[in-house]
Amino acid sequence: MPRPLVRTWRSLGRRARFKVKVAAAIVLLTSPVWTLNLVVAFLGHSVVFPLSPYFLRQKLSAVISYVRHRPTCLAQGHPNTDVLVKRVEARHNLPRGLLAAVIQVESRGLPHRISYAGAMGPGQLMPDTARELGVNDPFDTTENVKGAATLLSAHLARFHNVRLAVAAYNAGPGAVHGRIPNNGQTPAYVAKVMHAYAALRPAPSSPARHRSPGRRATPKQTVSARGPALASSALADDTQ
């Protein structure tokens, strides 16, 4: 140790030296934690508290997946997320715009997004969930979006309700018991997704009426012409 530092150290009182030692020990002991959190924040374009002790296993798994994925990404790039989402929505028979709304809220479509909890990719799949869905590379946009669609489709089949399916996507199906769990996060999440969904889904269209000139529609014809439009309106109200 340089002499000026030695003199400074000796000039400190016993209590001050003890505090410095404790602080140094804390820094050394927590260095793996804050290093991991800073790496996640940098690579994943997210906000992570440096000393957060939560989700360490998931965040480490996400970083490892990112390192494995990066060479492939540099060589091949990523497909257009918007085009891919529309195609996957149709393939899984999802309501048009719903998967796009979920991905917009989850990650803004960023392929390398890592959350403070270790969720990965456009659909923000947790490591365990990605493995259950058969997603080998969570940062591969195509794999991730397909996995997110499979998960969302399963929630819709289970709950038969858009809001509850979105809540299950955020909090897990075990937390949804016929209503949106009031856990301080999911209600706001569902509201954001439904707002995005309302903007992204196509507007219901009413069928054109075809009548011969000079012929007045009968009451039966009027009802049949308006029926599909009313049904579409009712469906839209149910999902808002």
Report pLDDT for 225: 36
Does 61 map to a domain?
yes
Does 235 map to a domain?
no
- Kindly calculate the radius of gyration of the chain based on its CA atoms and give it in whole angstroms: 26
Query: What are the residue ranges of helices labelled H in the chain?
Result: 3-11, 14-44, 56-76, 81-91, 98-107, 127-132, 141-159, 162-171, 186-200, 219-239
Does 87 map to a domain?
yes
List 114's β-bridge partners, or say none: 120
Q: Is the dihedral of CA 114, 68, 61, 154 positive or negative?
A: positive
Alpha-carbon gap, residue 135 to 149, rounded angstroms: 12
Does 141 map to a domain?
yes
Q: Write out pLDDT tens, residues 167-222.
A: 999 999 999 999 999 999 999 999 999 999 999 988 776 555 555 455 554 443 33
pLDDT of residue 140 exceeding 60: yes
SS3 for 12?
coil
Residue 106 known to be catalytic: yes
The total number of structural domains that make up the chain: 1
| Higher-scoring residue by pLDDT: 101, 76 | 101
Mean pLDDT of the chain: 84
Does 90 map to a domain?
yes
Q: Which residues, including other chains, have CB under 8 Å from residue 117's CB and lie 6 or more apart?
A: 54, 55, 58, 59, 126
Does 224 map to a domain?
no
Report pLDDT for 224: 37
Residues 205 and 228 sit within 8 Å (Cβ to Cβ): no
Confidence of residue 3 (pLDDT cuts 50, 70, 90): low
Does 2 map to a domain?
no
Q: Which of 89, 106, 132, 143 is catalytic?
A: 106
CATH of the domain at 78: 1.10.530.10
In a 13 Å sphere around the CA of 177, the CA atoms on its Cβ side amount to 3
Does 238 map to a domain?
no
Residues spanned by the domain of 149: 13-204
pTM given for the model = 0.76
Residues 236 and 190 sit within 8 Å (Cβ to Cβ): no
